[in-house]
Amino acid sequence: MSDFEKLEQIAARKDAQAYRALFEKFGPIVKAFMMRQGADPATAEELAQETMLSVWRKAGLYSEAKGSVATWIFTIARNLRIDRLRKEKIWVELPDQFENEASAEMSPDEIVSRDQQHLIVKRALDELPQEQREVVVLSFIDGLPHRAIADRLGLPVGTVKSRIRLAYLKLRGAVGEPDE
């Protein structure tokens, strides 16, 4: 007897023997399908049982024109799995001690972005003439004021400021910021 004929028997006479044959054939296959979809063994077993119970209840709704018996059964199984996932609680409350605490770690995309930006700035610094690079490093990396840079290099403060300004304009262009 074909699967279609078994379904007809179930729909017409609630034939337990035809149902048992379909259950023995499709029950384990549906359970394996559910496990491949990410369900744990207990949930997969439960969903397979629900699927086969729906086959018992809805046998009269099957239409051979819409696909094979197997396709119909797996459609029921898939829909039950989707319904179960929708009902599952996705949001899990954090313990009170973590309620308002943001993560201190940078996200992977922030790390990559920061590293790329550092590389761009380093390359741009390497492109500067030596005298401009020197004042930029002393000012922005070492944190020295213009007067201390001027004293260290034996230059007028105005020269230090001019070199920083020229370097700043070149760096802005090199790191992708438009000039004013």
Tens digits of per-residue pLDDT, 4-56?
899 888 999 999 999 999 999 999 999 999 998 888 899 999 999 999 999 99
Overall average pLDDT of the 52-63 stretch: 91
Alpha helices in the chain (DSSP H): 3-13, 16-36, 41-58, 69-87, 108-127, 130-136, 146-153, 157-174
d(CA 27, CA 76): 12
Q: Which of the four pLDDT bands, split at 50, 70 and 90, describes residue 92? A: low
pLDDT at position 102: 64
pLDDT tens-place string over residues 133-178: 999 889 988 889 999 999 999 999 999 999 999 988 888 887 766 5
132 with 166: CB under 8 angstroms? yes
From the candidate CATH numbers 3.40.50.10420, 1.20.58.2050, 1.20.120.1200, 1.10.10.10, the one assigned to the domain spanning 108-174? 1.10.10.10
Q: Which of the four pLDDT bands, split at 50, 70 and 90, describes residue 64? A: confident
Q: Does domain 3-87 have CATH number 1.10.1740.10?
A: yes
pLDDT at position 65: 82
Q: Delimit the domains of the chain by residue range.
A: 3-87, 108-174
CB count, 10 Å around CB of 39? 19
